[in-house]
A and B are shown apart, each in its own frame.
Chain A
Amino acid sequence: MVKTIGSFLLAVITTYLLGAIFVSQGNIAAVVALGFDISFAQRLDAAVHDMLNMTDIYLPLVAISLLLGLPVAYAIVRKRPHLGLIGYTLAGFVALLAIHLIIKAVVGLSGVAPTRTLIGLLCQGIAGGVGGYLFYRLTTKLQNN
């Protein structure tokens, strides 16, 4: 149980960090599209800044998303063990996608700016998918050991 919780926390942190980087670069892409130059150092600085400063709202959102999404995958994979990899990856992907769509539907506004575009939204899904994949790999490895 403790190891499962540890795997979940690692999945959350990984999703959070990756998602924050996607947010960071998505915001920068919008500024670049306006005709402004952003250096590599500024991109790097922004990524570090955002990873350190999105903990108040975005981190809990990521945690809640995976907390809801991964048990669904568990329920499915228990009956269909061969779907483990795709199940957890897809669950993470859908969970992150869903949380942003729900926020938009309920509040009428985007929680993080890059999700206003399809590519920005899909990137959030990818971050969730990586989290789900990592969770699957870690928990599988634990079971095998």
Chain B
Amino acid sequence: MFWNKAKRLGVLLLTLSLISISARAQSEYTLETVAEGLNFPWSIAFLPSGGYLVAMRSGEVRNISADGTISEPITGLPESYVMSQGGYFDITLDPEFASNQRIYLSFAHGTPEANGTRIVTGTLKGSAVTDVTPIFTVTPLKDTPVHYGGKMLFQSDGTLLMTTGDGFEYREAAQDPHNLMGKIIRINTDGSIPADNPFADGDSGHPAVWSYGHRNPQGLDLDPATDDVYAHEHGAKGGDELNLIKPTVNYGWPAVTKGINYSGAYVSPLRSAPGLEEPLTHWTPSIGASGLAIYRGDAFPQWRGKHFIGALVAEDVRMLTLDAGEVTQEEIVFSEIAARIRDVRVSPTGMLYLLTDSDQGKVIRVTPARSEES
């Protein structure tokens, strides 16, 4: 009897505290749909003009102006292998974009029998991209249309990181430093390999490999305050994880994981192992982590340093607080959108932008309550 009453009281208090957190968070911001009708938008890159490019898994990139006008598809970009999880992935601007107008696009390249993640670069001129050149292709090519990774990030030293997936059927490849699947790779903007990459000599690993033991990382961002790089990756059935990315480090997949196979069987009986990096946090059941933004803007001072992680399955965004390298708090935000969140980005003006994942995908801007982005 006592325990029943105690349990009910506990549930009541928990419910009230969650309502309180949710109400407090919602009073801080306004959600505004700034573009819609997009065919599976995957990533967003903000232009100096105030508009932004949106790459869509359906295999096109559109330029959306600051007032929300959606352009026709940008021309000149390569055809993609659009199938299942394949298509266009990430789009990012060169750090010197203002002077060179170069963009970088990652996408599924190839055929059903032989496909992989590729990066091309080109020059954006109005509604076209010219001088399109492939600078990197994940090898070996695979015969599955899933687990491509594809998130890109420029580090402060000017090198480009990209996540790669294990192709689902080839998960053991993630443990092979000579194989580019299930890795984070690091290249120069022309596709050449930086001389200080951990396996640059090619003896103990592929020269492009930066870190390994990844499953399908779909979030990658740099904290400008610390220069630390973070990535998250999908687990199988459970075991989504957030990691602090360091060169040479083995993040464990598939030898070590907190998740299990979709069949219900263990992927591995090991939950941890010496020499393998433990995640900062993990999610079981899976939230379907997608998109990562570390907030260092001015529009929401209370959010500085928070990690925002989109959730495809949970249909919300997770706001994490990190302290001394540990996740100390996780709050669920923007759940009122009630849609699969594909990407989360911070605009140059400090607003959060969210992409919803559907054939009628939206760009949603998060602004401070009673404030308009100019």
Query: Which residues of the partner chain A approach B267 to less than 8 Å between Cβ atoms?
Result: 27, 113
Contacts A20-B265, A36-B255 known; list 10 others, CB within 8 Å: A24-B266, A31-B255, A34-B255, A46-B266, A49-B269, A53-B264, A54-B264, A108-B143, A109-B146, A113-B261
- Does A42 belong to the interface (CB within 8 Å)? yes
- Does B288 belong to the interface (CB within 8 Å)? no
Binds B, one of A55-63, A74-82, A85-93, A133-141: A55-63
Contact with A27, one of B144, B145, B168, B266 (Cβ below 8 angstroms): B266
Query: Which residues of the partner chain B approach A4 to less than 8 Å between Cβ atoms?
Result: none
B residues 232-288 touching A (CB-CB < 8 Å)? 254-255, 260-270, 273
A–B complex contacts, Cβ < 8 Å, 29 sampled: A24-B265, A27-B267, A27-B268, A28-B268, A30-B172, A30-B254, A31-B254, A31-B255, A31-B269, A33-B172, A34-B175, A36-B255, A36-B268, A36-B270, A36-B273, A38-B270, A42-B270, A45-B269, A46-B265, A46-B266, A49-B265, A49-B266, A50-B264, A54-B265, A57-B262, A57-B264, A108-B144, A112-B261, A112-B265
Give the CA-CA distance A111 to B264 in the complex, in Å.
11
Give the CA-CA distance A58 to B262 in the complex, in Å.
10
CB distance A55 to B264 under 8 Å?
Answer: yes
CB distance B266 to A58 under 8 Å?
Answer: no
Contact residue range for chain A?
20 to 34
The minimal Cβ–Cβ distance linking A78 to chain B, given in whole angstroms, is 35
The minimal Cβ–Cβ distance linking B114 to chain A, given in whole angstroms, is 14
Contact residue range for chain B?
20 to 34
- Does A18 belong to the interface (CB within 8 Å)? no
Which of B175, B255, B266, B273 has the most CB atoms of chain A within a 10 A radius of its CB? B266
Query: Which residues of the partner chain A approach B263 to less than 8 Å between Cβ atoms?
Result: 23, 54, 57-58, 111-113
| 5 residue pairs, one from A and one from B, having the closest CB atoms | A53-B264, A50-B265, A54-B264, A42-B269, A46-B269
Query: Which residues of the partner chain A approach B144 to less than 8 Å between Cβ atoms?
Result: 108-109
- Does B169 belong to the interface (CB within 8 Å)? yes
Query: Which residues of the partner chain B approach A31 to less than 8 Å between Cβ atoms?
Result: 254-255, 268-270
CB distance A53 to B172 under 8 Å?
Answer: no
Give the CA-CA distance A49 to B265 in the complex, in Å.
7
Query: Which residues of the partner chain B approach A36 to less than 8 Å between Cβ atoms?
Result: 255, 268, 270, 273
CB distance A38 to B269 under 8 Å?
Answer: yes
The minimal Cβ–Cβ distance linking B125 to chain A, given in whole angstroms, is 38
Give the CA-CA distance A110 to B175 in the complex, in Å.
20
**Nearest-neighbor residue (CB-CB) of B176 within chain A:** A34
CB distance A27 to B264 under 8 Å?
Answer: no
**Nearest-neighbor residue (CB-CB) of B267 within chain A:** A27
The minimal Cβ–Cβ distance linking A21 to chain B, given in whole angstroms, is 10
B residues 46-76 touching A (CB-CB < 8 Å)? none
CB distance B260 to A53 under 8 Å?
Answer: yes
The minimal Cβ–Cβ distance linking A42 to chain B, given in whole angstroms, is 4
Give the CA-CA distance A72 to B84 in the complex, in Å.
35
What 0/1 readout, one digit per residue, does chain A (8-38) give for beta carbons within 8 Å of chain B?
Answer: 0000000000001001100110110110101
**Nearest-neighbor residue (CB-CB) of A51 within chain B:** B265
Give the CA-CA distance A45 to B146 in the complex, in Å.
31
Query: Which residues of the partner chain A approach B145 to less than 8 Å between Cβ atoms?
Result: 108
Query: Which residues of the partner chain B approach A111 to less than 8 Å between Cβ atoms?
Result: 263
Query: Which residues of the partner chain B approach A50 to less than 8 Å between Cβ atoms?
Result: 264-266
Asked whether A58 and B169 contact (CB < 8 A) given A31-B254, A38-B270, A42-B269, the answer is no
Give the CA-CA distance A20 to B169 in the complex, in Å.
19
Query: Which residues of the partner chain A approach B262 to less than 8 Å between Cβ atoms?
Result: 57
Give the CA-CA distance A143 to B169 in the complex, in Å.
46
Asked whether A53 and B269 contact (CB < 8 A) given A33-B172, A34-B175, A116-B169, the answer is no
Give the CA-CA distance A45 to B270 in the complex, in Å.
11
Give the CA-CA distance A128 to B281 in the complex, in Å.
40
Query: Which residues of the partner chain B approach A116 to less than 8 Å between Cβ atoms?
Result: 169
The minimal Cβ–Cβ distance linking A6 to chain B, given in whole angstroms, is 26
